[in-house]
């Protein structure tokens, strides 16, 4: 049996960890918005014309030539009950979404293979504490439920509550400051607001003020660059992220 790294990781996910589904979108979110849009070349009236990957909401938006659209997480779009009624159109949507989603999963797996992520899960028993999965074992796992973060590993070992921690991907050279990308901040603010709601006094501790948002943005960049913005830069990044969220059509 392939064994994982045994560590006293506790029974609850660490706040710095992300779900494996979040990590796949996060990895893909490094690309520009134009690179996250896929144009399709089907010409008839009700055919799909494009697929947009929305990394903030963790969804795919499939747009059709007749003006219609479907927006769902990719694993939901691939279910028969969520596909268009027309069998041919459904097949084209399935083919397109499946190809894009699998390319994203492969991009994430390649990054894991480089040691860019640490992987954690409850193994064999849903009630057990977390264990670390060696990065070079990840390709042996198959995710069966992206929303719950469950899967099957080597020798049919069940994995529950799959989570990841992103390692530093950039080593800043001496005297060179990392670049804090506003688009990445905007995506992260939208993800947080969609997941946790707007921060406020009625929310749980750690999500009540703008300073709490700024702290999460600081952690967001520390996970990538091993550096965080200064307080003044964090304030600007957070303010612009909130503005971008409020400006986005609902």
Does the residue 86 lie in any domain?
yes
Does the residue 176 lie in any domain?
no
Does the residue 172 lie in any domain?
no
What pLDDT is attached to residue 250? 60
Going by their DSSP bridges, the two strands 59-64 and 69-72 should be labelled as antiparallel
- Mean pLDDT confidence for 198-210: 90
DSSP string, 19-35: EHHHHHHHHHTTS-GGG
Residues 163, 68 share a domain: yes
Residues 84, 129 share a domain: yes
Q: What is the rounded average pLDDT for all residues in the chain? A: 86
Domain count, the chain: 2
Does the residue 136 lie in any domain?
yes
Lowest mean pLDDT, pick from 26-40, 173-187, 208-222: 173-187
Looking up tokens 């893909």, which residue turns up?
A: 28
Question: Which of the four pLDDT bands, split at 50, 70 and 90, describes residue 6?
Answer: very low
Q: What is the pTM of this model?
A: 0.66
Is the pLDDT at 154 greater than 80? The verdict is yes
Residues 148, 50 share a domain: yes
Q: Which domain holds residue 242?
A: 182-247
CA distance 104 to 50: 17
Residues 45, 109 share a domain: yes
CA distance 159 to 4: 11
Measured from the Cβ of residue 97, the count of other Cβ atoms closer than 10 Å reads: 23
CA distance 16 to 159: 20
pLDDT digits (tens, 9 = 90+) for 56-90: 889 999 999 888 999 999 999 999 999 999 999 99
Does the residue 221 lie in any domain?
yes
Does the residue 175 lie in any domain?
no
């Amino acid at each position: 049996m392939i064994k994982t790294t045994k560590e006293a990781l506790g029974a609850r996910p660490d706040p710095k960890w992300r779900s494996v589904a979040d990590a796949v979108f996060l990895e893909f979110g490094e690309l520009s918005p134009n690179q996250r849009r896929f144009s399709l070349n089907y010409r008839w009236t009700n055919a799909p014309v494009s697929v947009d990957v929305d990394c903030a909401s963790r969804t795919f938006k499939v747009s059709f030539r007749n003006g219609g659209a479907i927006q769902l997480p990719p694993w939901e779009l691939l279910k028969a009950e969520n596909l268009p009624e027309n069998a041919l159109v459904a097949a084209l949507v399935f083919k397109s979404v499946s190809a894009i989603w699998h390319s994203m999963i492969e991009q994430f797996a390649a990054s894991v293979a480089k040691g860019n992520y640490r992987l954690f899960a409850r193994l064999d028993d849903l009630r057990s504490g977390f264990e670390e999965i060696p990065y070079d074992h990840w390709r042996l796992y198959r995710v069966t439920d992206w929303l719950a973060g469950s899967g099957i590993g080597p020798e049919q070992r069940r994995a529950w509550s799959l989570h990841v921690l992103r390692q530093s991907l950039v080593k800043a050279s001496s005297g060179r400051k990392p670049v804090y990308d506003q688009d990445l901040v905007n995506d992260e603010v939208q993800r947080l607001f969609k997941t946790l709601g707007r921060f406020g006094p009625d929310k749980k501790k750690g999500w009540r003020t703008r300073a709490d948002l700024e702290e999460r943005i600081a952690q967001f960049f520390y996970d990538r660059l091993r550096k965080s913005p200064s307080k003044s830069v964090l304030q600007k990044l957070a303010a612009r992220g909130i503005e971008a969220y409020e400006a986005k059509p609902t």
